């Protein structure tokens, strides 16, 4: 277990049943490899809601609203339209760089991996986009490190809700609706 996930397990005990995935099939469908920390995070927690705010997207999520593959398709299309009217963040200027979603929030913010050419998925960092605006943040952390640091209060965001994280942790694994 990677150290960030071990810390997360200390903070919030995971559900008893791990989620198994055919990662090769998922990655073929997405057309990109996925970070190993994310795969381990999904295996441990599955698609889930953290502190009644942040939703961790899962490929094949039992709650279709939070299926990573569906979100990837929707966000790729939405971002293409967005770049027609808004300037891309400077982190996306390198040719071949793109974003891939991994989480969302109750307010509609989206958390992405910054996917750079020739960069190992284990080194992908996090971009956060506000729900109804042009603001972006770049955090030099993996998805799991970001989640641990924000829940610990070691990382702050001017985009995410000031009420997140909660003082008393809340966690629920996503189920079919």
**For 86, which DSSP code?**
S
Q: Mean pLDDT across the chain, nearest whole number?
A: 95
Percentage of residues in the chain having pLDDT higher than 70: 100
Q: Give the relative orientation of helices 23-30 and 68-85 as an angle to the nearest 10 degrees.
A: 20
How high is the pLDDT of residue 49? 97
Is the pLDDT at 69 greater than 90? The verdict is yes
Give the per-residue SS3 of 3-43. HHHHHHHHHCCCCCCCCCCCHHHHHHHHCCCCCHHHHHHHH
pLDDT score recorded for residue 161: 95
Strand order across the 54-56 sheet: 136-139, 125-129, 110-115, 98-105, 54-56, 48-50, 171-173
Confidence of residue 98 (pLDDT cuts 50, 70, 90): very high
Q: Is the pLDDT of residue 151 over 90?
A: yes
Q: What is the average per-residue pLDDT within 68-84?
A: 93
Reported as a single tens digit per residue, the pLDDT across 4-61 is: 999 999 999 999 888 999 999 999 999 999 999 999 999 999 999 999 999 999 999 9
Identify the pLDDT of residue 177: 80
Here the tokens at position 87 are 């300037």
Name the β-bridge partners of 121: none
Among candidates 86, 17, 30, which has minimal Cα distance to 59? Answer: 30
What pTM does this model have?
Answer: 0.96
Domain borders along the chain are 3-173
Instruction: Mark 141-153 as b/e (b = at least 16 C-beta within 10 Å).
Output: bbbbbbbbbbbee
What CA–CA distance (Å, rounded) separates 105 from 49?
9
CATH annotation of 3-173: 3.40.1580
- Sole residue written with tokens 């952390």: 141
């Amino acid at each position: 277990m990677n150290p960030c996930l071990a810390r997360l397990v200390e903070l919030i005990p995971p559900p008893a049943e791990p989620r198994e995935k055919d990662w090769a099939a998922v990655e073929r469908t997405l057309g990109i490899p996925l970070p190993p920390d994310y795969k381990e995070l999904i295996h441990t927690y599955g698609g889930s809601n953290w502190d009644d705010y942040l939703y961790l997207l899962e490929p094949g999520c039992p709650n279709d609203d939070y299926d990573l593959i569906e979100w990837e398709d929707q966000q790729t299309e939405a971002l293409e339209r967005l770049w027609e009217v808004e300037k891309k963040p400077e982190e996306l200027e390198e040719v071949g760089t793109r974003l891939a979603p991994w989480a969302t929030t109750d307010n509609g913010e989206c958390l992405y991996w910054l996917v750079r050419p020739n960069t190992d998925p284990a080194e992908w960092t996090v971009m956060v986009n506000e729900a109804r605006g042009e603001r972006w943040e770049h955090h030099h952390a993996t998805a799991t490190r970001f989640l641990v640091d924000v829940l610990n209060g070691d990382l702050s965001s001017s985009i995410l809700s000031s009420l997140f994280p909660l003082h008393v942790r809340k966690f629920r694994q996503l189920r079919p609706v």
